[in-house]
Amino acid sequence: MIAGAEGENILAAAAGVLAERGVHLTWRLRDAGSRDSGADGDVRVEVDGVGITLPLQVKAQVRPSTIGLVGTPGAHGTLLATTHVTATVARLLRERGVNFVDSAGNAFIRAPGVRVEIEGLRPTVGAATRTATPLFGRAALPVVLAILNAPHLIAAPLRDIQVRTHVSLGSVQKIVKALRAAGYDRLPGPDSTRGDREHWQRLLHGWVAEYAGGARDETLLGRYTSAWPVANLIARADDLPAVLSGEAAAAGSGDVIRPATLDLYVHGQVGPLISAARLRPDPQGAVCVRKASWTPVAEHDGASRAVVPVAPAPVVYADLIALADPRAETAARRWLANDPNLRSFLTD
């Protein structure tokens, strides 16, 4: 969930436009420690005297690459409230049975006795802008990644964190100070409270939304096709000057998914990988080569189940989510539940 005031603003804007069209919304946002099942609150929708109450999620932005972060619909569907839903995102949400409203007044709601479909409305100038969260700025993302990948580092010397990033020590100090001030000095784990675990889960999902929704695109060095099938490349992973992510990392960790794509992260030049993996440039290729935003030290954190070299666990999770494919999203949930560090953020 985003900050309470911002969530209220999104809902108020949507409610104002929808009321003019005979759709009335009333809502209640829950405190951080009282949420369950991933819901940020509940919302009552009333049309022509018929009403229904739905679980509510509020997100500042939803992109095709972050659809997988929207919670699983309940019996009558989740209602997602966000700043603006594009035509592509609207289609993906409808396919998943997720009801939504946005600040412009676009809406899709299908529940017993209630049916609303409004599209084509544009947000007012400035409506899509929001105050940047320091923890999810581009300079902060590598530091937050290091902490998510190994939460105990929040209490470690700053240089122990810096060595896992390409960020200056001064920036590391600033970001770690912000994390501690935001309550992330309380580590997740068996003895932590549900509220603390939810707090860390929101940090993970916030990081994934920013990484998969934008920063990840900047890591792309090129798309390629290999002379070998993806499965063969995974089997040869130990001989490649790169680490696996996404579907390939999940498969290399024992997941049942059969990868159709391959994300490879490099720390140096791409040339040696092109030779070792027999790659040739292809704009539609299944192999994406990316520049790692972390150092090799971070790859030794955690307790990976992989028998092949893989990217840090939050990156693998984000790359699965970014595929915006139900098969990969299911694998992402398994990855989250099975990773020794990431599963400590879960509440059930």
For 8-34, what is each residue's pLDDT tens digit? 888 999 999 999 999 999 999 876 555
pLDDT at 35 over 60: no
Dihedrals phi, psi of 24, to nearest 5 degrees: -115, 130
Which pLDDT score is estimated for 255? Answer: 92
Contact (CB, 8 A) for 302 and 312: yes
Chain mean pLDDT for the chain: 88
The pLDDT confidence band at residue 6, using thresholds 50, 70 and 90, is: confident
29-33, 150-154, 202-206, 243-247: least confidently modelled range: 29-33
The 10s digit of each residue's pLDDT in 262-274 is: 999 999 999 999 9
- Give the model confidence (pLDDT) of 217-229 as tens digits: 999 999 999 999 9
Quickly state the pLDDT bin for 73 (edges 50, 70, 90). Answer: low
Which has more confidence, 74 or 267?
Answer: 267
Q: Kindly tell me if the per-residue pLDDT of 152 is higher than 70.
A: yes
pLDDT band at 172 (very low <50, low <70, confident <90, very high): very high
Q: What percent of the chain has pLDDT over 90?
A: 58
**What pLDDT, on the 0 to 100 scale, is given for residue 122?**
84
Q: Report the pLDDT value the prediction gives residue 127, as an integer from 0 to 100.
A: 46
Task: Specify the long-range contacts of residues 224-227, CB closer than 8 Å, at least 24 apart.
Answer: 224/274, 224/277, 224/279, 224/280, 224/281, 224/282, 224/285, 224/287, 224/288, 224/289, 225/279, 225/280, 225/282, 225/285, 225/286, 225/287, 226/277, 226/278, 226/279, 226/280, 226/287, 227/278, 227/280
> What's the CA gap between 151 and 154, in Å, rounded?
6
- Whether pLDDT at 131 is above 70: no
Domain ranges in the chain?
4-118, 134-215, 219-345
| pLDDT value of residue 124 | 67
Q: So what's the pLDDT on residue 74?
A: 56
CA distance 320 to 328: 5
- Band (pLDDT 50/70/90 cuts) for residue 69 is confident
Whether the CB-CB separation of 154 and 148 falls below 8 Å is answered with: no
Average pLDDT over residues 46-60: 90
Q: What is the pLDDT of residue 331?
A: 94
Distance CA 61, CA 100 (A): 12
Task: Provide the pLDDT for residue 134.
Answer: 76
Task: State yes or no: pLDDT of 132 exceeds 60.
Answer: no
Average pLDDT over residues 241-258: 94
Model confidence over 299-340: pLDDT tens digits?
988 655 567 899 999 999 999 998 888 899 899 999 999 998
